[in-house]
Amino acid sequence: MRLGVFFFVLLITSCVSQTKVDDPVLLRQNQLAQNAQQLLAEGKYQEAVALYRQLADQPSIQQNIFRLQAAEALLKIGDAVTAKAYADLVAPATLTEVWRNRLYLLYAQIHLNAGNAEQAVSRLNLVSVMSLSAQQKHLYHETAAFAYALTGELVTSVHERIALERYLSAAQKRDNSIAILDTLSLLPLSVLQTQLDVSTDMVYSGWLEIAIMKQQMPLGSAEFNIAINTWQQLYIRHPANSLINSDYFMFSGIELGDVSDIAVFLPEAGPYSRHAAAVKAGFMAAYYHYENNALRPNIRFYDTSQTIGVVALYHQAIAEGAQLVIGPLQKSLINELAAAGNLPVPILALNYVDNLVKKNLYQFALSPIDEARQVVNQAWFAGYKNALILRPDTGSGERLEKYFYNAWTALDGNILAVEKFAPKSKDFSVPVQHMLNVSESQYRLKSLNNVVGRVENNPRRRQDVDVIFIVANKQEARLINPQFYHNRAAKIKVYGLSRIYGGKMDVIKNVDLEGVNFCGIPWLLEGAYQGELDLAALQDTWEQFPESFLSLIAFGIDAFTIVPHLDKLQAVRFHGATGNLLLNGSNRVERQLACAQFKQGKVQLIETMQDMAEGYEGIATQPISSRQEALGAE
């Protein structure tokens, strides 16, 4: 009987198995999945995407797996939006731990590419690292290193890179070592020393010692060479030794004076295409103004709105002869390039990504951080100490509040209060009165009237304020500033950002901005920019764009004219259309702006703190007849 049951079960099982194997739909799916996997292995990502999407769109018992694989393939071609759409269809509860880990890793990459580093970290925290394969651990630690760096957790980022080391090839190890030192270079010397004092990890301690040496001694100096030789005797097996034995520490900056082929990465479609057109207009105006046609570099534009992906576009540009890449504009694309490994050709990115440092990646942007820093310096230099901040109740307003707060308190200034106003507000009386404590004074007066009868008195503002920082555009500022006069605060100095002045003089409307100080790009301020491509010279160009885009034209001018000077900018400022430019130790181009004040509806230049304190000589903006002349060569 038992034997009969056994054969019966065996028969049923074989029939079921036979049915599955012979199922034409299942056979078709298996074949497509194998083909897609093979295409991925061969690097044929577009073809693999097509097959995985076909599988993902068909109802089946493996549909969630196919959706996840389709999303992974889509991310490889740079289509993060569609990748997320497929990932969002996957129910994590239906997946095994292995596949859930892949889903969380995928989401982390998607968020990181979009510049949402905090969300990337939250997804990474869901991953069970111990159960990952070696290849997945490589991806995990690499993604985590970037995510933590972008959230400002630089020490954690370095530890992730140290963990990443064992999963890398020799070439990748070099890039990872450079990234470790680049990240540590963002930390103050005091933090590095504290970390070294408490470190129990020899590898981490070794990196910290090198980072400290780099900050204390000039690279290539006898002092540095002696220190690094002593270090090597103590850290014989440290991964930094291969870097030390190469030419890395001989690196002293890029040499772009002889660049003859430039690739420019700008979007031709999408939400940033109009902004890109303004940048391109300024760039080409500077290009055609270049005096020596024989030495004018070749320029090729690449459309970053294509689905090919920015990393593939970068390698395409190199294959076509590019010696320098200018762009891209979007932070997400800069992140993608930074995460792509070694950058054999220098990139001058046209935006800033916080806490991002990488060899051969230079960042240049019209950042409000530069404006906030200089406005704060101006106010501090004028002798003010107790400040109020008035800003819109938006994400951008919150970020700018932090910039003002950090910069002002670093100078030992006091932020007494922060007041917010609703976006698109037309009435600023309430936030201004609340900020100045006028509403409290009115309340006290009303209470007194109720007790003793009518009292003749005017509400008083707070008396402990000597400066106000406002974050507002020109329409908002024209409504805000008169409120200070109405509320007996006319003597308090008001400072704003460049957004309160677009570049076109409107004396009648600007009367409402009387006394307001601001710092902005020289190109928009009469008399501040000495180059030949000034606002008047390019009137036919800027008239094609809205007033708010004029600064982008100036940005394009500098994006071209700065190229021959990049290797000098760490020592000598370049007088550009967007400011006096200097390259800092993190390969970011910082801007010293021009400052002005509204007087009787007109904008009048005022002396900046840097003008008074430095008295430096920079590189002029006059046209250059050759690249050799630009570099000061004979």
Alpha carbons 315 and 310: distance in angstroms, whole number: 9
In a domain, 256, yes or no: no
Over residues 51-104, the pLDDT tens digits come to 878 887 888 888 888 888 888 888 888 888 888 998 899 988 889 999 999 999
Q: Which of 558, 181, 518, 147 is nearest to 364 (CA)?
A: 558
Phi, psi of 392 (to 5 degrees): -70, 150
For the cut 50, the answer to whether the pLDDT of residue 441 exceeds it is: no
Helix (H, G, I), strand (E, B) or coil at 390: strand
In a domain, 291, yes or no: yes
Identity of the amino acid at 91: A
Over residues 378-423, the pLDDT tens digits come to 999 889 999 999 999 999 899 999 999 989 998 999 999 999 999 8
Q: 560 CB contacts (<8 Å, ≥6 apart)?
A: 282, 283, 286, 287, 326
Helix (H, G, I), strand (E, B) or coil at 421: strand
For the cut 60, the answer to whether the pLDDT of residue 612 exceeds it is: no
> Are residues 355 and 376 both part of a single domain?
no
Q: Which two structure tokens, joined as six digits, stand for 259? A: 């660049």
Q: 438: pLDDT confidence band, cut at 50, 70 and 90?
A: low
Cα angle vertex 134, ends 128, 135, to 5°?
100
Number of domains in the chain: 2
For the cut 70, the answer to whether the pLDDT of residue 334 exceeds it is: yes
- So what's the pLDDT on residue 342? 80
- So what's the pLDDT on residue 243? 85
DSSP 296: P
> Are residues 444 and 326 both part of a single domain?
no
Please count the residues of the chain.
634
DSSP 297: P
In a domain, 475, yes or no: yes
- Do residues 58 and 29 touch, judged by C-beta distance below 8 A? yes
Per DSSP, which regions of 240-367 are E strands? 261-266, 298-303, 324-326, 347-349, 361-364
Phi, psi of 153 (to 5 degrees): -90, 75
Cα angle vertex 211, ends 582, 233, to 5°?
140
* Averaged pLDDT, 537-552: 92
- Do residues 594 and 525 touch, judged by C-beta distance below 8 A? yes
Alpha carbons 388 and 415: distance in angstroms, whole number: 6
> Are residues 375 and 395 both part of a single domain?
yes
| Ranges of H-type helices in 63-116 | 63-76, 80-87, 97-113
Q: Which two structure tokens, joined as six digits, stand for 274? A: 């109009």
Read out DSSP for 149-164? HHTT-HHHHHHHHHHH
For the cut 80, the answer to whether the pLDDT of residue 174 exceeds it is: yes
261 CB neighbour count, 10 Å cutoff: 16
Identity of the amino acid at 497: L
CATH number at residue 307: 3.40.50.2300
Among the candidates 364, 399, 428, a domain finishes at 364
DSSP 61: T
In a domain, 327, yes or no: yes
In a domain, 12, yes or no: no
- So what's the pLDDT on residue 459? 52
For the cut 60, the answer to whether the pLDDT of residue 335 exceeds it is: yes
In a domain, 48, yes or no: no
Q: Can you state the angle between helices 117-124 and 134-150, rounded to 10 degrees?
A: 140
Q: Is the dihedral of CA 215, 217, 220, 225 positive or negative?
A: negative
> Are residues 295 and 350 both part of a single domain?
yes
- So what's the pLDDT on residue 467? 94
Alpha carbons 328 and 316: distance in angstroms, whole number: 15
> Are residues 464 and 586 both part of a single domain?
yes
Whole-structure pTM over 0.75, yes or no?
no
Among the candidates 364, 385, 411, a domain finishes at 364
% of the chain with per-residue pLDDT over 90: 49
- Do residues 466 and 492 touch, judged by C-beta distance below 8 A? yes
> Are residues 314 and 374 both part of a single domain?
no
For residue 317, the enclosing domain spans 261-364
**What would you measure as the largest C-alpha separation in the chain, in angstroms?**
112
Residue that wins the pLDDT comparison between 565 and 454: 565
Phi, psi of 376 (to 5 degrees): -65, -45
Among the candidates 301, 332, 364, a domain finishes at 364
In a domain, 413, yes or no: yes
> Are residues 286 and 424 both part of a single domain?
no
**Count of helices and strands (H, E) across the chain:** 27, 15
Q: Which two structure tokens, joined as six digits, stand for 378? A: 């101006």
